[in-house]
Structure 1
Amino acid sequence: MFHAITRTVLGVCLWHSLSALAADSYPATQLAPAAELQYSIKARQSGLSIGGSALVRWQQQDGKYSIHSETRAVLVGKILDTSSQGSIDEQGLAPELFTEKRFGKPQTQTSFDRQNKMIKFSTSAETYPIKGGEQDRSSATWQLIAQARAASAHFTTGSEWKMFVAGRRDAETWTFRVVGTETIRTALGEYQCIHVSKAPPPDSRDQQLDIWLAPGLNWYPVRLRFNDADGDFVDQLLESVNKL
């Protein structure tokens, strides 16, 4: 228990030291325009190959933001429903509530109690302090997009972008690493994309997340791939973008 608490404290301290350093080095954020993005999905879950679709609604206006995402599989229906909402401050997105509903499981809530400066979970007694810049699993991608739009000259191969991210039960520092530039073919045409990868921490069974951001399309994610340690994956490819 002592070692677990020590790792948590050190991780939080390291994150806040790195975020303070980054704030001095780069512009803060430039949020992407509000939009509704539709994706096609190819996936392997529990050894079965399935197809489906995902819809992401990203909105930001008057100092507030919201992100709502629905993922549906053929014959099964909705398998994942997530939402993140909060305010916008000098560091970018400032989540207040993150909810997640997975197929066959109860909904979970992660709350960012900004009055008491504490992150709390509906399924765990863990708590983490809020000092600024913390994200949830939905807002993290859009915070990364906002950072890339504000500091594109620094968003180069090999560069790393860190943020403290809360999930369903706990939180940890995520490190996004810019892999390089790749061409991605979509239903809207081909885009030169910046490939960014978030690998799980050592000795973790967390997902690896790969994102392909298109500078020529407001830096929206044209492809996302989630890889589990057991070989299951979900691969999303952009089908359409509608301005809101």
Structure 2
Amino acid sequence: MKLLNPTIFHTRFPLRLLAFASIALLLHYLAWDTLSDIAAPSTEKTQTEKLVAVQLTPASEATTEATTEATTVATTVTTKVATTVETNSEPHPTQKATVQLTDKPHTNNVIAPPSNLERDTPQNLPAPIEIPAAHASTGNAGEKDIDATVSGTENNQTDANKKSADDDVVDLSSLRVLPPPSGKMHMKVMYVAKNMNPVYGIGDIQWVTRDNTYQMQIEASLDLLLTTLRLYKLQSEGTIGQYGIAPQQMTESRRGRAETATHFHYDTKIISFSATTAVTPLSAGAQDKATIMMQLSGLGIAAPEQFVTGRRIAIQVAENREAEKFIFVISGQEEIQTSIGNIQTWHIIRPPRTGLYNSTLELWFAPAYHWFPLQLRNTEPNGAVTTQTVDKIQFNASPEN
């Protein structure tokens, strides 16, 4: 066995020991420096890295009590809203936001939270948002209440718009009316409905005036191959008065139904109906559903300048069970095609009114033919359309013709 030279051993060992010690010292210094940077950052760096954390935690009993007190104080002093906020001792299912100051872990540089935040007194809590009593509920119910408020606002705005629109309506009783001369029209009738072939028929409108009285009759029949089948008959009679045509009685008969009658009582100012015991107050210039078209004709006869595009005219119209205010709109001038030629007319429309009547009524009045309505059209909500267009016309007809 070969032994080491003692001289060499004593010379090399201290050098190696010194080298190991130096390396260990260097590693220890580096490790300590790194740990110091983490454990003890500078004050400036600590301030820039300070974090404000918003944590969602269940409301404890103490926090809930303080919140309730704050809500009560804020509600009484600032909002004066009569709203009851229910608070139970159990944690509310809705989580509550609390603000907490946090720092990176270091015992020597912890910044303590303000003392007023530690106390969490009601004076330091934010005031609650003002909530109307009608919306004090939470969750979906609150959303529904808010939706109801918005809807109510929209409805109020709609009602205001309707009221504003009605302000420009002219009552027909305030306009000049002269009854048209006696005449009779023979009409072609066409009924068109969805998924059906057109149905054709014929009709007659007869208007007779004599000594400040009038008689009117409207008939409609189904046009069959070898004959006609009467479907409808409307008769009206009355006088010519201060507001033009003044109906006294209207009768209506339809195939398969009992005849009905509508009576105008000018002494008591009511309208009565044989189909019901109800009565309706009688307005000035009221018409039945037969005479309304001739009363509108009288506007043009009395003063053609009363036909103004866009004008809205209101008039009470009695039917077989009730009387409603109809609003007609003068649409403008329009040329129509008829069996007697192309004729220039004034087009008047009665649009639907929600809750009153759903159909659309259109009439075309011809100034060249004593303002008689040479075409009528009724459109139902289901799209069914009935159109009557003049085929023949003659004037000065007697009741017997």
With the shorter chain as reference, the TM-score category is 0.7 to 0.9
Q: Which moved more, 1:177-186 or 1:38-47?
A: 38-47
Secondary structure, in 3 states, of the residue corresponding to 1:101? strand
Q: Which residue of 1 aligns with 2:244?
A: 92
1:72 aligns with 2:233: no
Partner of 1:38: 186
- Separation (CA, whole Å) in 2 of partners of 1:172 and 1:31: 22
Residue by residue over 1:169-198, the C-alpha shift from the partner in whole angstroms, topping out at 9 and shown as x without a partner, is 111100110111111111111111110001
Partner residue in 2 for 1:148: 300
Judge conservation of contact 2:170–2:313 (CA < 8 Å) in 1: no
Task: Report the Cα offset of residue 101 of structure 1.
Answer: 1.1
Moved more, 32-41 or 101-110: 101-110
8 Å CA contact retained: 1:205, 1:228 = no
More helix by share: 2
Correspondent of 1:208 among 360, 366, 378: 360
Q: Which has the higher strand share?
A: 1
Please state whether the residue corresponding to 2:343 is helix, strand or coil.
strand
Q: Which residue of 1 aligns with 2:199?
A: 50
Change (3 A) 1:224 1:131: closer
What is the one-letter code of the residue matched to 2:190?
K
**Higher relative contact order by CA 8 Å / sep ≥ 6: 1 or 2?**
1
Give the Cα–Cα distance (whole angstroms) in 2 for the partners of residues 144 and 72 of structure 1: 25
- For residues 187 and 170 of structure 2, the distance between their equivalents in structure 1, rounded to whole angstroms, comes to 34
Indicate the residue corresponding to 1:11 in structure 2.
none
Mapped to 2, the partners of 1:34 and 1:118 lie a distance apart of 29
Give me the identity figure in percent: 26
Kindly tell me: are residues 48 and 85 of structure 1, through their superposed partners in 2, closer, same or farther at Cα, counting changes over 3 Å? farther
What one-letter code is carried by the residue in structure 2 that aligns with 1:196? I
SS of corresponding position for 2:171? helix
- What aligned pairs does 1:73-222 form with structure 2 within 5 A after superposition? 73-75=222-224, 77-222=229-374
Match of 1:201, SS state, is coil
For residues 232 and 73 of structure 1, the distance between their equivalents in structure 2, rounded to whole angstroms, comes to 16
Distance in 1 (alpha carbons) for counterparts of 2:268 and 2:357: 31
Contact kept in structure 2, 1:40 and 1:54, CA below 8 Å: yes
- Separation in structure 1 between the aligned mates of residue 245 and residue 316 of structure 2, nearest angstrom: 12
C-alpha contact 2:170 2:312 (8 A) present in aligned 1:
no
Query: What is the SS of the residue equivalent to 2:198?
Result: strand
Distance 2:358 2:287 in 1: 17
Query: What's the CA shift for 1:202?
Result: 1.6
Task: Between 37-46 and 193-202, report the one with greater CA deviation.
Answer: 37-46
Structure number with larger C-alpha Rg: 2
2:377 maps to 225
Judge which range, 196-205 or 134-143, deviates more. Answer: 196-205
In the alignment, the residues of structure 2 paired with residue 134 and residue 48 of structure 1 have an alpha-carbon distance, to the nearest angstrom, of 38
Q: Which residue pairs with 2:209 in the alignment?
A: 60
Measure how far apart 1:102 and its partner are.
1.6
TM-score, length of structure 1 as denominator length: 0.86
Aligned partners of 2:188 and 2:310: how far apart in 1?
29
1:205 to partner: Cα distance: 4.7
